[in-house]
Amino acid sequence: MSILDDIETIKTESLKEVSTVDNLESLESLRLRFLGRKDGHISKVLQLLPTLNPDEKKQVGRQANEVKRALEACIEDKKRLLEDASLNQSLSQSALDLTLPDRSAFRGKLHPVTQTMDDIVSVFSRLGFNLAEGPEVETDFNNFTALNHPPDHPARDAHDTFYVKDLRDASGAPFLLRTHTSPVQIRYMKSHQPPLYIVAPGRVFRHEAVDATHSFVFHQVEGLAVDKDISMADLKGMLGLFAQHLFGSKARIRFRPSFFPFVEPGIEVDISCTLCDQKGCRVCKQSGWIEMLGAGLVHPHVLRGVGYNPDQVSGYAFGIGVERVAMFKYGVDDMRLFYENDIRFLKQF
């Protein structure tokens, strides 16, 4: 076999191998095998040149260089192809896909009890009431005495009070965690003159065992209006509007006589069950009515105590249980769910 035949064989074999090689390492070792300076097949052929006669030298030299250039170009093309493929592969395997939609973070929102309290306050503020606030640690005087619970009056026992240890006011009376939002009435009346229309939302505390409808900490919205000639009719009109704003135009209210020391007469107010259209359901316990708040006309003792003249002004007051409203509104039958703060429960509101 002549050298020219060898060159031809090198050409066909090397090109065939290049076409089947499928990775960069094999391509490089192939390149070294055929084109390597010292030991490559082509170099070996060129090393023979000195032994050839001038004619053969020229022919073999030209032929070998041609194959060398063709093979180099072919390897270069293949190299680019394999590089592109490996880049595409690593891109497609990478975890970062900028075209994917984002995994939206869970956005926080207000607690259902806070939402309900805000709703109640917003209804009354649209009806012309101002916002008032008072502290959670109160004096015995504001929480009880000024609200017409005389010292040692049994009505105090109805509220299981948390007293603040070792803290007493100037008169030696203990401080306590307010058992209702009604003391805000006293604070507000002492610092303002009628006419006044306020709502006071807030947290209240009672030393009570926790069950489906009781907790040692819960929320109320207190309302107070003091003006000339305020009557039960005003209270009824206002609470009727409130019920319709919060529960829809079908909502009705009813008054039942009741007793609270700081109002006279005192009433309890029921709202018609809008969940069952008063047909009777689990939430209204088949009665068609939901007990929702206490109210009444401000007792003359209370008005006098803050320096108002009961012959010139009168007022109504009401206290709404926020958790009760929230339970009714959302059809929740166990108050404890509001305090356990299970995110699966809270996410629904």
Q: Contact residues for ligand DAH (CB under 6 A)?
A: 180, 182, 222, 260, 263, 266, 294-296, 317-319
CB of 184 to ligand DAH, least distance (A): 10
Number of H helices and number of E strands within the chain?
A: 12, 10
Nearest-approach distance from CB 139 to ligand DAH, in angstroms: 16
Which CB, 161 or 272, lies closer to ligand DAH? 161
Dist. CA 27–CA 78, nearest whole Å: 8
Shortest distance, position 104 Cβ to ligand DAH, whole Å: 42
| Distance in angstroms (rounded) separating the CA atoms of residues 4 and 16 | 18
CB of residue 344 vs ligand DAH: minimum separation in angstroms?
32
Nearer to ligand DAH, 31 or 222 (CB): 222
Q: Which residues contact 32 (CB under 8 A, 6 or more apart)?
A: 39, 40
182 vs 149: CA distance, rounded Å: 12
Rounded Cα distance, 281 and 284, in Å:
6
Q: Which of 174, 299, 295 has its CA nearest to residue 242?
A: 295
- What's the closest the beta carbon of residue 170 comes to ligand DAH, in angstroms? 25
Q: Report in angstroms how near the CB of residue 294 gets to ligand DAH at its nearest.
A: 3
- Cβ atoms of 113 and 323 within 8 Å: the answer is yes
Which DSSP category does 51 fall into?
Answer: G
- CB nearer ligand DAH, residue 40 or residue 315: 315
* Minimum CB distance to ligand DAH, residue 183 (Å): 9
Task: Give the Cα separation of 11 and 63 in Å (integer).
Answer: 10
Please, are residues 161 and 180 in contact by the beta-carbon 8 Å criterion? no
Phi–psi pair at 194, nearest 5 degrees: -65, 155
Question: Within the chain, what is the greatest distance between any pair of CA atoms?
Answer: 141
Nearer to ligand DAH, 202 or 266 (CB): 266
C-beta closer to ligand DAH: residue 201 or 319: 319
What is the SS3 assignment for 45?
helix
Closest separation in Å from C-beta 197 to ligand DAH: 13
Task: Please report which residue ranges of 48-176 form alpha helices under DSSP H.
Answer: 54-93, 112-126, 140-143
Phi-psi region of 172 (alpha: psi -120 to 50; beta: other; left: phi over 0): left
Q: Which is nearer to ligand DAH, 68 or 178 (CB)?
A: 178
